[in-house]
Structure 1
Amino acid sequence: MARSGVRYEDVQRAIDALMARGEAPSVHKIREALGTGSFTTISEHLREWRRLREENRDVPPPQGMPTELQALAEALWSQAQEAANDALVHYRQEADTRVEEAHQQVAGAERRAEDAEQREAALSSRLTELDQRLDERTREQAQLQAEHDALQERLTRAQQEVETLQSRLEAARQEAREQEQAHQQALEALQTSLEQRLQQEEERNESAEARLMGLLDEARQERQAAEKAHAGREQRLERQLEDVRAQHKAREQELSEAQQARHEAERAQVTAQERETELQRQNEELAGRITERDRQLAEQAEHWQQREQQMEERLWASLEALRSEWRDARERAEDTTDSPAPEREDPA
């Protein structure tokens, strides 16, 4: 939309002034003539003026004049339009080209402005990020400085403790040297005492060794006697063991025979059970056959009874039929006897 700073009437007056001077109207010339206004607004008004001029170009001259004058006016009007069109073709093309260039420049300027805004936004974001990182680094530096101060203080205390420990170590070393001297003296006294006691122990050991040798001789004699007694006991035990082995072998033989007899008895029992089972099965089969035979006999008896009843019924029916026939024959005979004999005609 056109801005409210420059109106269409202002642009039209500037165009009329340029046309009066014989100059083709353009955006730059109109801008110079007006001294104000944006190129976009002037370009829109210029396009509107051209559109209206194109619409009014083919309007015929007013009617109501003489024919010759009207024809002359129409001819002049056509010539004027052709001359104006020929004169304005170049300016129109140039104006359109400049307007298009202006539009392209405006679009380029807008793109550059957008790029600049984007770069500005990116730079602003980058600056904000750098500020944040700077704040973080500042905080980290402050934290590191605090840690450094704490470590320095701890180092000072540690150095003081080391000095204290060194002094205590020196005192402990001095005390250890004194204790070592006292210990050496005590060791020398103890060694002297031990040597004396060792000599006394050696003397006592010699007497104890003599007594020990006597005890060893007695122990050897007792051992020999014990070995002899042990050998006799071993011989007796071996004989007893042989007797036990013989008894065990006899018991094993008896046990084997008993197991064999038990196996035979078990086999006989199994055979008897199998025989009993077979007999039971045969008895059951025989009982089934007897039951089936009884059923068949009952069915046959019932069948013969039914046939006997049927034959009896048929016999009675035949007898009744014979009786009926006999009565009929008798009645016919009686009728024949009661009726008179027919008269014979004289053959002459």
Structure 2
Amino acid sequence: MARAGVTYHDVAKAAEAIKSQRQEPTVDRVREHLGTGSKSTIAPLLKRWRSDNGEAVDTGGLPNDLIEVVKSLHERVQQMADHRIEQVRQEFEGFNKALRKELSDAKNTIVQLTARQQDLDSQIERQNKEKGETEKSLEDVRISLVKAESQRDEAIARTTELKESVAELKQENKDIREHFEHYQQRTAEDRQQEREQFRTVTQGLKDQVRDLQHRLTQAEFKASELFDANAQLQSDAGKLEQANATLNRELNGKIEDIQNLKRDLEDALTKCRDFQHKNEQLAENAAVITTQKADVDKQVAVLTQALETTKAELKVCQDKIAFLTDENKVILQEKAMILGQFKQLQGSL
């Protein structure tokens, strides 16, 4: 098949140039001068040029019949060659047309592939951008996860401290209750003992007062009798002076006894007042103890309220820990989803 770059005109021009250099145009020299083309293509074109230029061939004394046969053969070969050349040209034009069509299709395909490549480049750029945003979101999620873990650790530490504080408050409350119960029991025992002592002393004083009152009544009764007897004896003064003197002595003794009894009664009344004063002091002490008990009850109430507040804070911390745990789980799930999408994105790339 002839190449598209070698034509009869090119061969003729090359042959004339070689001939102008006083050299014989041959196939090799024409091919060397053109720098292209095959020997099978250049040879018939060169023969045609020679025929057109009427160059005489040296027959060397060959017979005319042989020359005519050679010429006839040459013309037939020339016709066949021309026919073949025309056929080759038609084939070449068809092939060239097909190549042009394929080239056009190839150009269209290249345009489509270029557009597709541009789309792919834009998709890759967009995916890279999304990848960067995804990595940034993943980094933000990691930072949030680290912050959440830090907050969770702080909440756990705070919960531990609150638990320790609650335990200490419970122990202090327990100790206060034990001391308070022991104090109440000791106070009750002391008050009971003091009441019993006061009751015993009061009863003894009452018995003494009753005895003294009885003796005083008897003494007054005897004094009345003696006064009556003295009145009777005064009428018999002469006879009863000796008895009167005796009775006066007895009366003086009884008066002294009465004075002694009065002093004893005053001492008993003084002791009774002292016991009443002690009873008042005991009542005051009981009031002070009651006040202290009220203060202790207030402290217990304050500690109980603090304990309830601590429990509420502990409940809030526990709820916060549960919320952070749930949020941590959600973050881990989102992280897993993002990693899965990232792996799918890498697989698609």
Q: Shorter chain as normaliser: what TM range?
A: 0.3 to 0.5
Larger radius of gyration: 1
Instruction: Give the structure-1-normalised TM-score.
Output: 0.33
Instruction: Give the structure-2-normalised TM-score.
Output: 0.33
